A and B are shown apart, each in its own frame.
Chain A
Amino acid sequence: MEKHFTDSRVKGVSTGTTILAAVFDGGVVIGSDSRASIGGEYVSSKTINKVIQVHDRIFCCMAGSLADAQAVTKTAKFQLSFHSIQMESPPLVISAASVLKQLCYNNKEELQAGFITAGWDKKKGPQVYVVSLGGMLISQPVTIGGSGSTYIYGYVDAKYKVNMTREECLQFATNALALAMGRDNVSGGVANLVVITEEGVEHIVIPGDKLPRFSDE
């Protein structure tokens, strides 16, 4: 595979991605594209899953090196499961985000992975947390990440409203992903969305040709 690997900062397969999460009235939507690339020029997978379930009502989106992100989420899944058994109750979303943060911060020299954690818990309801490359952890109502996010900051800042309905929030997330995938070469494929509420979890997959089109396409 060496001919695919050019001078890229991420060694091996990178997720080179667009990920986002947004809180709405009663739940949270988390989503991503599905492209994995090597060296910014070869698409090694058109259907990679970047939205990983780390517990019943908590999901994580990964960005950066695919190997690092998969290793971290595997470890986090195990630690959360163990924590949940010890506490005899479902973990808080902030616990999940903290586990990821500990891993990213303590191994910041070697790892190249960032995450968006979103979920629902009984204490604070729907929440979204960002764990950046170096291990910073902050909570936001809406957040975007990955290389494709740079193209949609304007859209997100303008269009996000607090306390949207589920349908409005889904449309907002779909539009944002479609716009980013349309401009970023290392984002693409299908849009993977997950809606998390107190009642449960719903997976929505929108194939590339069913994504919303805009005036210049």
Chain B
Amino acid sequence: MALSNVLDSPAAGFNFDNAARNAAFEGLFEGGQTPKPLKTGTTIAGVVFKDGVVLGADTRATSSEVVADKMCAKIHYISPNIYCCGAGTAADTEKTTDLLSSNLTVFSLNSGRNPRVVMAVNILQDMLYRYHGQIGANLILGGVDCTGNHLYTVGPYGSVNKVPYLAMGSGDLAALGILEDGFQHDLELEKAKKLVRDAVHSGIMNDLGSGNNIDICVITAEGVDYIRPFQESEFKDRREIKYKYRQGTTPVLTKKITPLKMEVVQETTQKMETV
């Protein structure tokens, strides 16, 4: 039977064990504050257009005030027809989307069909709800399946909403302004790409946590066009100095080679029956 949770069968009913464990953790650290995880400080946006869904994201990952990654990929592959943008804790969005992708791949192999977007949403909702908000993943799921073009948002506590346009992350309010102004039903492809680009651009300009380049992912019934980067940052720096050093720059003073002695302890052969 093709099950949705093929890799890990959860126990029946609600399970709040992890919430209790996490609450117990807080008491163990000084000052009662658990260590802060890396957040992506993001602007992600999605729009449903006439022939499919367009997803967009910036590419900056921050660690407090420092930009940890200038070209981080926030649009994650879920299945050939579904992609997911993630905002919130970087590790959580990565792992959650990976887990979802694995589950859906096994399901596809078992059942022989492409998964539906609503199925991906249900699996995510079940998982995030079970962890009661401890998994800090704010996700935008977009995809095209036999029932149409869909865009969903899943919150960290497990709430789900189906929408025609959406923005998430620290730059969401700036992006939402652009989307609210420019969105129309059944946009053409180029207009939809421009709208998403403008929305993410507004997030980049007005939010410190978002920046660098813009990635766009277009999903239609024909296939996926993952344009990375769709637009490069106008503020790219040019490195003046070369950071590569040629061999011989650092003088070698001494060299010592110690061979590791290995001996054969046991050797076994097993005859295998062949046809």
Contacts and interface: CB of A to CB of B under 8 A. Distances in A.
A1 interface: yes
A11 B19 CA distance: 13
B251 to A, nearest CB: 52
Nearest to B169: A1
Interface stretch (A64-72, A115-123, A147-155, A197-205): A64-72
B138 interface: yes
Interface string A62-97: 000111101100110000000000000000000000
Interface string A17-50: 0000000000000000000100000001101100
A110 B159 contact: no
A182 B204 CA distance: 36
Contact of B125 (A36, A47, A65, A71): A71
Contacts of B126: 71
Interface string B144-157: 00000000000111
A66 B125 CA distance: 12
A75 B125 CA distance: 12
Interface string B73-96: 000000000000001100000000
Given A107-B14, A110-B14, A67 B161 contact: no
Contacts of B13: 75
B155 A12 contact: yes
Contacts of B19: 110
Given A11-B133, A110-B14, A67 B163 contact: no
Which of A44, A66, A71 counts the most B-chain CB atoms under 10 A from its CB?
A: A71
Given A107-B14, A110-B132, A66 B159 contact: yes
Q: How large is the interface on B (under 10, 10 to 19, 20 to 34, 35 or more residues)?
A: 20 to 34
Interface string B167-185: 0101010000000000000
B198 to A, nearest CB: 21
A142 interface: no
A37 to B, nearest CB: 12
Contacts of B25: none
A13 interface: yes
Contacts of A36: 159, 161
Contacts of A12: 133, 155-157, 159
B141 to A, nearest CB: 15
Contact of B163 (A47, A65, A66, A71): A47
A70 to B, nearest CB: 6
Interface residues of A, number: 20
A47 B122 CA distance: 19
Contacts of B170: 3
B155 A67 contact: yes
Which of B14, B126, B132 counts the most A-chain CB atoms under 10 A from its CB?
A: B14
B128 to A, nearest CB: 8
Contacts of A75: 13
Nearest to A14: B159
B158 interface: yes
Contacts of B155: 1, 12-13, 44, 66-67
Contacts of B172: 1
Contacts of B129: 67, 70-71
Interface in B105-163: 122, 125-126, 128-129, 132-133, 138, 155-161, 163
B273 to A, nearest CB: 47
A87 B84 CA distance: 41
A13 B14 CA distance: 19
Nearest to B129: A71
Given A1-B138, A71-B125, A13 B159 contact: yes
A36 B156 CA distance: 15
Contacts of B16: 110
A68 B161 CA distance: 14
Nearest to B13: A75
Contacts of A65: 157, 159
Closest 4 CB pairs of A and B: A12-B157, A67-B157, A66-B159, A67-B158
13 contacts: A1-B155, A1-B156, A1-B168, A11-B133, A12-B159, A13-B155, A13-B159, A65-B159, A67-B133, A67-B158, A70-B129, A71-B14, A110-B132
Interface of B: 13-14, 16, 19, 87-88, 122, 125-126, 128-129, 132-133, 138, 155-161, 163, 168, 170, 172
Given A11-B133, A12-B159, A13-B157, 6 more contacts: A1-B155, A12-B157, A44-B155, A44-B161, A67-B128, A107-B14
